[in-house]
A and B are shown apart, each in its own frame.
Chain A
Amino acid sequence: GESVGLHLPTLSVQEGDNSIINCAYSNSASDYFIWYKQESGKGPQFIIDIRSNMDKRQGQRVTVLLNKTVKHLSLQIAATQPGDSAVYFCAENGGSNYKLTFGKGTLLTVNP
């Protein structure tokens, strides 16, 4: 079946560095992608989204890049802070109007 996966299960960075979390997707019908942050013991929290008619979108300290040619999505976090430590999930809609398919997640650890 279709799947969304992550290249790296864990990422450790120094406080103040930039972080890049990658995600590969396989469903070419997907036209909407979301990044979620999940802190320990909490529900996923929306970070940023992007539609397939865009290749870049910026938020506060975060940027999402979409490369439809190679079916690749990335989340860039600028000036990473200890509060950014969490599991980050990418999700795609597979062209569906109701369902999101989630990747397994990347654990980001920020060292002070």
Chain B
Amino acid sequence: NAGVTQTPKFRILKIGQSMTLQCTQDMNHNYMYWYRQDPGMGLKLIYYSVGAGITDKGEVPNGYNVSRSTTEDFPLRLELAAPSQTSVYFCASSLGDTSGNTIYFGEGSWLTVV
């Protein structure tokens, strides 16, 4: 299994541009997540999904959108990129809920907005 795969690894965006971070998992996990990590900080939840067709906001959803059309894929869309969105983005997945189900993370996507 490849686990959780994210693309691109690195991207530079200009202010106001839009882009999509792709995420796919091959573990047949129901739950998927997007986190962002700012320098020297922990991870903050942006959006999550408990299954295909279902998405919900996390702690910091503003400026982002997601969709979950299949179990495997959970893309994160940035509309009108702002410098405050410069961060490292991690996609993750788990078999079930967080009361005992381990969350597995992708390798991260480094995004810089200039």
Contact = CB atoms under 8 A, between A and B. Distances in A.
B98 A100 contact: yes
Given A99-B45, A99-B48, A32 B108 contact: no
B35 to A, nearest CB: 8
A34 interface: yes
Interface in B73-114: 90, 92, 97-100, 102-108
Chain A contact residues: over half helix, strand or loop, or mixed?
Answer: loop
Contact of B48 (A51, A89, A98): A98
B100 A97 contact: no
Interface of B: 4, 31, 40-45, 48, 50, 56, 58-59, 90, 92, 97-100, 102-108
A32 B100 contact: yes
Interface string A85-101: 00001000100111111
Contact of B105 (A31, A45, A49): A45
A43 B107 contact: yes
Contacts of B92: 43
Interface string A25-68: 00000011010100001111110010100000000000000000
A34 B102 contact: yes
B100 to A, nearest CB: 6
Interface stretch (A12-20, A70-78, A102-110): A102-110
B98 A44 contact: no
Contacts of A97: 97-99
A51 B99 CA distance: 8
Contacts of B97: 97-98
A43 B90 contact: yes
